[in-house]
C-alpha cells in the first residue's frame, strides 16, 4: 500500500494513470495548434492544390490571404474580413456563410489551445509535485509514465492513421458532425472560395502531418522512458 501513496496519502497511481491517459491528448492538441498556426503548412497547401488558379488571383495575393487567416485565429476580431485583388478588382474573399463557418472554426481552435494549456498545466504540476514529494524516487514513476504514455500515443495514432487511410472522407465528415452544431461547413467547390483555397486533400495532408508528428513524439517518449529506466537501473515504479 505504501508504494502507491505519496507523503500526503493521495494515491500516486491515480495521478500517474491520469498522466498516461492525458499524454496522447496533450501531444495531439500541441501538434494541432502548431499546424493551425503554421504559415508553412498553409502556403504549402495553397501552392500544392492550385488555390491561385482556382480563385483566379495572383499567388502572392492568395498567400497573403492565408497569412491573414492565421492572424484571425489569434486576433480579438469576431469575424474574418479579408480582401484580395482579383483581375484588377478588390473583392471580399469569403461570403457570409464562409465567414460564419470560420467563426466556428476559430472557436474550435481556441478550445483546442485552452485544452492544450490545461493538459500542459497538469503535466507540469504532476512532475513538480512528484519531485517535491518523492524527490529522487520519483524518477521511477516519471520514466514509467513516459514509457506507457508514449506507447499509448503510438497505439492510438496507428489506429487513427489506419482509419484515415481506409476512409479519410468518412472520418472528415464525422469530425465536422461532432465539432460543429450546424451545417455551415458544407461548402460548394464551384462557388465557395474557402474550399477552393483549402480542398479536402489539404486537410488530409494536415491530418497526416499531425498524426505523424504525434506518433514520432510518442515513440521518442516511450524510448526515453524505457532507456532511462534501463540506464539508471530504476526499479519498477510499482515496486518502489
Hey, where are the domains in the chain?
A: 2-239
| Residue-wise burial string across 112-134, b where 16 or more C-beta atoms lie within 10 A, e elsewhere | bbebbeebeeebeebeebbeeeb
Contact 123, 19 (CB under 8 A): yes
pLDDT at 12: 60
What confidence score (pLDDT) does residue 233 get? 65
Helix (H, G, I), strand (E, B) or coil at 210: helix
Per the document, the length of the chain is 240
pLDDT given for residue 4 in this prediction? 41
> Using CA atoms in the order 84, 86, 92, 98, what is the torsion angle rounded to 10 degrees?
-90
* Calpha distance 189→22 (Å, rounded): 38
pLDDT at 3: 42
Could you tell me the pTM of the whole model? 0.87
- CA 105 – CA 102 distance, rounded (Å): 5
Q: For the chain, list residues with pLDDT below 70.
A: 1-12, 233-240
Q: Are 59 and 47 in contact (CB under 8 A)?
A: yes
Q: Which three cell numbers stand for residue 53?
A: 488558379
Chain segment 173-208, per-residue pLDDT in tens: 999 999 999 999 999 999 999 999 999 999 999 999
- Residue-level pLDDT at 133: 86
| HEC string for 4-32 | HECCCCCEHHHHHHHHHHHHHHHHHHHHH
Q: What integer pLDDT is reported at residue 230 of this predicted model?
A: 81
Q: Give residue-wise pLDDT tens across range 118-152.
A: 999 999 999 998 899 888 888 888 999 999 999 99
Cross-strand partners of 11: 5
For residue 170, the model assigns a pLDDT of 94
- Of 213, 202, 29, 197, give the one whose Cα is nearest residue 110: 29
pLDDT of res. 134: 84
**DSSP 8-state code for residue 84:** E
Amino acid at each position: 500500500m505504501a508504494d502507491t501513496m505519496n507523503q500526503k496519502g493521495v494515491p500516486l497511481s491515480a495521478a500517474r494513470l491520469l498522466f498516461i491517459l492525458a499524454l496522447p491528448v496533450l501531444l495531439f492538441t500541441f501538434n494541432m495548434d502548431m499546424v493551425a498556426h503554421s504559415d508553412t503548412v498553409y502556403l504549402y497547401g495553397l501552392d500544392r492544390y492550385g488555390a491561385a488558379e482556382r480563385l483566379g488571383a495572383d499567388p502572392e495575393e492568395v498567400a497573403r490571404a492565408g497569412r491573414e487567416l492565421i492572424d484571425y485565429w489569434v486576433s480579438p476580431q469576431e469575424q474574418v474580413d479579408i480582401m484580395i485583388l482579383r483581375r484588377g478588382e478588390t473583392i471580399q474573399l469569403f461570403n457570409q456563410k464562409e465567414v460564419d463557418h470560420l467563426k466556428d472554426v476559430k472557436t474550435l481552435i481556441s478550445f483546442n489551445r485552452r485544452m492544450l494549456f490545461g493538459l500542459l498545466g497538469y503535466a507540469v504540476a504532476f512532475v513538480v509535485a512528484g519531485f517535491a514529494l518523492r524527490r529522487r524516487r520519483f524518477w521511477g514513476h516519471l520514466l514509467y509514465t513516459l514509457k506507457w504514455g508514449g506507447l499509448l500515443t503510438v497505439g492510438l495514432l496507428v489506429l487513427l492513421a489506419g482509419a484515415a487511410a481506409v476512409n479519410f472522407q468518412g472520418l472528415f465528415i464525422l469530425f465536422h458532425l461532432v465539432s460543429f452544431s450546424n451545417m455551415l461547413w458544407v461548402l460548394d467547390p464551384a462557388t465557395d472560395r474557402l474550399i477552393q483555397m483549402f480542398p479536402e486533400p489539404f486537410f488530409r495532408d494536415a491530418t497526416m502531418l499531425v498524426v505523424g508528428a504525434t506518433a514520432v513524439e510518442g515513440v521518442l517518449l516511450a524510448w526515453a522512458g524505457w532507456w532511462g529506466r534501463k540506464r539508471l537501473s530504476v526499479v519498477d515504479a510499482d515496486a518502489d
